Amino acid sequence: MMEILKHTAHRPWPLPRGPWIMKQVWHDLLFAHWPVELKALRQRIPSQLAIDLIGGQAWLGVVPFRMSGVKMRGAFGIRGFSAFPELNVRTYVTHDGKPGVWFFSLDAANALAVWGARKVFHLPYFQAAMRCEENAGWIHYECTRQHRGARPASLRAQYRGVGETFTAQPGTLEYFLTERYCLYTANRNDRIISCDIHHPEWSLQSAEASFQENTMSSAAGISLADEQPHLLHFARRQDVVVWASRRVE
């Protein structure tokens, strides 16, 4: 895992100062993306953040995957905490010219992880019943939100990677949607929080998918013109380290 810290030439800015605080591995990840209207996002994202566009277009992603090896630095792995499915709904923003990800929701099948992420990173995590398994080369994924007081949301889909792997090149849509090295969120006082991450360049494949149910974006108050995504990419594995969150204002 720590070998990835030796490879930084692909990053748009240097590694953060200070030690990382968490490591994790992401598996069987689908980037499913839809073009969305800017005004549909603007009213749901703090005004301090600029919505990032490419070719004048805003995008929304629904990203299912599973985690393993989730561990705080210097701590032993906790049984039942280190491996679980996660599903996020996201768009793309900038702050002072630094591009990042804004999460509308992150669902996870782990109550401890949900509590910790809300407490430490101020992220909108939700407890959910989830299933992620591979069968005949297809990833079968299900998510049903069960978080008390949260709007219902669910996903049922199958997906797989197809074709050769590739690395997204700067300036392309694939690069814009995937090569992001920080996230933004807001705390209870509406102060903007940033969190840096590091990982190797994404090894991507084109993907194919079938969505039987997807209410993840509508739960965030954003409707999609089409049920099926406009753009699909698959990644088999990504190793990630995370730094502590910090206020950026």
Residues present in the chain in total: 249
Q: Say yes or no to pLDDT of 1 above 60.
A: no
CA 198, 97, 177, 246 torsion-angle sign: positive
Q: How many helices (H) and strands (E) does the chain have?
A: 4, 13
Q: What is the pTM of this model?
A: 0.95
5 close to 241: Cβ distance less than 8 angstroms = yes
Q: What is the pLDDT of residue 53?
A: 98
- Domains identified in the chain and CATH numbers: 20-247 (2.40.400.10)
- What gap in Å lies between CA 166 and CA 168, rounded to an integer? 6
d(CA 237, CA 108): 18
Residue 64, beta-bridge partner list = 87
CA distance linking residue 72 with residue 241, whole number of Å: 10
201-237 pLDDT, tens digit per residue, is: 999 999 999 999 999 999 999 988 777 899 999 999 9
Q: Tens digit of pLDDT for each residue in 117-169?
A: 888 888 999 999 999 999 999 999 999 999 998 899 999 999 999 999 999 99
Half-sphere exposure of 147 (CA within 13 A, CB side): 26
Percentage of the residues of the chain whose pLDDT score is greater than 70 = 96
